[in-house]
Chains A and B, each alone.
Chain A
Amino acid sequence: MSGRDVVIGIAAALLLLTIMVVVLSGGTACTPSTEIRRLAEFYLKHCINLYNKTWWTSSPAAVTSMLWDYRGIDTYYETSVFFLAIIGGVALFRVVEVKLGAGGREEKKELGLSLIVKTSTRIVFLLILIVAVSVALHGHVNPGGGFQAGSVLAVGPLLFMAAFSRRFLEDRLKLDRAKCVALLTIGLILIVLVIASPLVVGGALMQNQPKYWLPKSPWGYLTHVGPLELSGTLFFLDVAEFLVVSFGFTLLFIIVSIPEKEFRRLLGL
């Protein structure tokens, strides 16, 4: 054990002690109790308040209304971070122009796991798809939303890659890298369109419901169409985020499954 180890050990212990003291002495403003913060009370009180529509979002799900209405810019920047991480991954692997099937005879054979696994994967994928779409479309009235649904759906292609092969995904399901990038970009463009559309009629950026205290914005998104709840922008933003997250992750999974042999040949190692 060298001196460095001792120093790092002491530093970790000090850090642990400091966080404990800070948290237990009330450094997080309000440690779990029977009361919640005033800020949270504001959000809970106003998210679907029909009697005071100054701040309302017309969505019964407080988390979704915060995510896209009260704290929309924060979420927008986090989507940008997500997009940049994906672009970083794609840029690292840009040298690979893999035409699968060009890799010799043994790669053309359909390999993968046993028939039982393959059949159950097909059934499970259907269920994953249904759950993901349901979570995405109900994000503004139930717990759920675009981020969660996207993460759920991204498991589907991963399962296919494990049980069948990457070729199955690209040849049979026609889901290759270019398509993933296209759908991801469509999602991002949708988000920008929904965010910027109130500007056309004289509203504010990211505006959802009418804000009467603004000088000129009597206009707001529809809260519902017939019996269908829309909650203004929240529904569209959830769907767009669903596209972004699900196909972003699918893209990453496709890239990470590029065969090692192919890579070494291309890099000349």
Chain B
Amino acid sequence: MSVEQILQPYCYAALVTIIAISLYGIVRGASLTKKLIALTIFGDTANALMIYVGYRFGEEVFAPVMPTFEPSPSEIAWFVSTAVDPVPQCLVITAIVINMAITMFLAFLIIQAYRLYGTVSVKKIAKLRG
């Protein structure tokens, strides 16, 4: 058992703790800006967790990119036995870009709310009338 495998539960614990803390931030953040920051932390940690789930332990581990254009059957077998899981990477690529676009959109909404109401505090906005 390698060092990485022994440390594996601690990695999970760290990532899941960050997710829980950021969820708490989303729920209990005092201002919209802080909620947005917590949301970005949540998204990034979820991505990191996803990539981590797709990792593979072993003597040699490579990125899922075939080093040649005309692989022989033995090279394909070697590729399958050494490359990390490409599925989470594929999901994360799009997730990062979408995350950023959604973050920008929410930032726009918060800026607009600040311009209209003069505050980003959740409690003050909830008390507004008219």
The interface of chain A, by Cβ under 8 A from chain B, is 5, 8-9, 12-13, 15-16, 19-20, 23-24, 28, 30-37, 39-41, 43-45, 47-51, 60-63, 66-67, 71, 74-75, 78, 81-82, 85-86, 88-89, 92-93, 141-143, 145, 147-148, 150-151, 229, 245, 248-249, 252, 255-256, 260, 263-264, 267, 269
Contact = CB atoms under 8 A, between A and B. Distances in A.
Nearest to A93: B108
Given A16-B19, A256-B108, 9 more contacts: A32-B8, A32-B53, A36-B54, A37-B87, A60-B71, A67-B90, A143-B65, A147-B94, A249-B104
Nearest to A75: B94
A245 B66 contact: no
A12 B97 contact: no
Q: Identify which of A37, A60, A229, A263 gathers the most chain B CB atoms within 10 Å of its CB.
A: A60
Interface of B: 4-5, 8-9, 12-13, 16-17, 19-21, 23-24, 27-28, 52-58, 63-71, 73, 76, 79-80, 83-87, 89-90, 93-94, 96-98, 100-102, 104-105, 107-109, 111-112, 115-116
Contacts of B94: 67, 74-75, 78, 147
Contacts of B4: 32
A143 B56 CA distance: 18
Contacts of B76: 45, 49
Contacts of B97: 78, 82, 147, 150-151, 245
Nearest to A260: B115
Contact of B87 (A35, A66, A85): A66
Nearest to B53: A28
Nearest to B20: A16
Contacts of B86: 40, 43-44, 62-63, 66
